[in-house]
């Protein structure tokens, strides 16, 4: 397979290249693509140097798959150009997620909906992916009515600039700010830009994207997204009201048997998910599973995942793996 990674020098793009190696994806030719300022530089892939090329050159190469992680504006402009030459695009930005003509895919949940006609495939938001991974199997059995989510999101979700801000603040160094306020020893209830309704874009992604992924608008989601001073891994406190009653033993069994999920839930041994343990892993970790005693048929749980891996790079590579396995590309 001739594979293009657009945004190959970025935080997520770097991990995408690493995942292609780790998972032994069948790459016969790699096109490392980045902005014009990076063209001509080299990256190492499978022990060999690869020269970075620009988007125009990459389109002319007609790759089988192009995996984008270079921002929404780049995706809006260039994804259709790749699709026109027959390339299947997997896009990690928010550009195409809510486009009704594009599929929003978490492979464990809805990859089977993909066909050779899908030339631009959207990768969901990082916090959405880990949420729906846990919600999908439970919704199938107990039918969700309403979900309340509070997130505790890593600075890595903002990018290198934010990681640098945190590291410099810890060292007491004044530097360029990714956020309007300090993040060290702080929590910012502000992920992405604010919309007219008072919610941030991140919160509205959490409200809208799961319905599209599950192809079901019978449930509703409300969210508060908070940025915290962790370097990697997003955490979510999730409250789910179901139409039907449930047994906690069954809940744990369902989650335990769901591919891609690891249950860490034993208060007696202080076992619960934490970003420090999720960092660098591909699983979605679920714990603190307990009944909400304030209202019937309602569950509380705590969900943690590495936002750069399953929340971005790994999910995109898994989509590509499905396309190859099903001979869609």
Q: Which residues are catalytic?
A: 126, 234
Main-chain dihedrals φ then ψ at residue 37, nearest 5 degrees: -70, -20
Identify whether the C-beta of residue 129 lies closer than 8 Å to the C-beta of residue 111: no
Q: Give the separation between CA 324 and CA 329, rounded to whole angstroms.
A: 6
- Kindly tell me the sign of the dihedral angle through the C-alpha atoms of 305, 306, 311, 314: negative
**Residue 305 C-beta-side C-alpha neighbours within 13 Å:** 29
DSSP string spanning 61-92? Answer: T--SEEEE-S-HHHHHHHHHHHHHTTPEEEE-
Give the position of tokens 């001073």.
229
Listed in sequence order, the residues at least 6 apart from 45 whose beta carbon sits closer than 8 Å to its beta carbon are 17, 20, 21, 27, 30, 32
Tokens of residue 112, six digits: 């089977």
Q: Give the separation between CA 82 and CA 102, rounded to whole angstroms.
A: 15
DSSP 152: E
DSSP string spanning 92-112? Answer: -SSSSTT-TTSEE--HHHHGG
For residue 44, what are the β-bridge partners?
49
Listed in sequence order, the residues at least 6 apart from 5 whose beta carbon sits closer than 8 Å to its beta carbon are 13, 16, 17, 20, 30, 31, 32, 33, 66, 67, 69
Tokens of residue 90, six digits: 């997997």
């Amino acid at each position: 397979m001739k594979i293009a990674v657009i945004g190959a020098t970025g935080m997520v793009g770097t991990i995408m290249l690493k995942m292609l190696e780790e998972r032994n994806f069948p790459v016969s030719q790699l096109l490392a693509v980045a902005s014009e300022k990076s063209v001509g530089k080299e990256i190492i892939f499978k022990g060999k140097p690869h020269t970075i090329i620009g988007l125009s050159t990459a389109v002319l190469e007609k790759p089988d798959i192009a995996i984008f992680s270079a921002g929404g504006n780049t995706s809006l402009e260039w994804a259709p150009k790749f699709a026109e030459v027959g390339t299947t695009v997997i896009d990690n930005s928010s550009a195409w997620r809510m486009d009704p003509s594009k599929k929003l895919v978490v492979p464990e949940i809805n990859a089977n909906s993909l066909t050779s006609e899908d030339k631009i495939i959207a990768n969901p938001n990082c916090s959405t992916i880990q949420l729906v991974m846990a919600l999908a199997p439970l919704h199938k059995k107990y039918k969700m009515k309403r979900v309340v989510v509070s997130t505790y999101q890593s600075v890595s979700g903002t990018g290198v600039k934010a990681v640098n801000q945190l590291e410099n603040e810890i060292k007491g160094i004044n530097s360029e700010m990714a956020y309007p306020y300090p993040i060290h020893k702080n929590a910012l209830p502000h992920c992405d830009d604010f919309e007219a309704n008072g919610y941030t874009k991140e919160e509205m992604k959490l409200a809208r994207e799961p319905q599209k992924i599950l192809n079901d608008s019978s449930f509703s989601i409300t969210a508060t997204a908070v940025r915290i001073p962790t370097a990697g891994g997003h955490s979510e406190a999730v409250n789910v009201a179901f139409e039907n009653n449930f047994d906690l033993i069954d809940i744990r069994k369902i989650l335990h048997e769901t591919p891609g999920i690891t249950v860490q839930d034993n208060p007696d041994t202080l076992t619960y998910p934490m970003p420090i343990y999720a960092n660098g892993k591909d699983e979605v970790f679920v714990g603190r599973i307990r009944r909400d005693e304030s209202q019937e048929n309602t569950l509380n749980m705590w969900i943690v995942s590495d936002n750069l891996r399953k929340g971005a790079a790994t999910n995109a590579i898994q989509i590509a793996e499905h396309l190859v396995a099903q001979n869609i590309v």
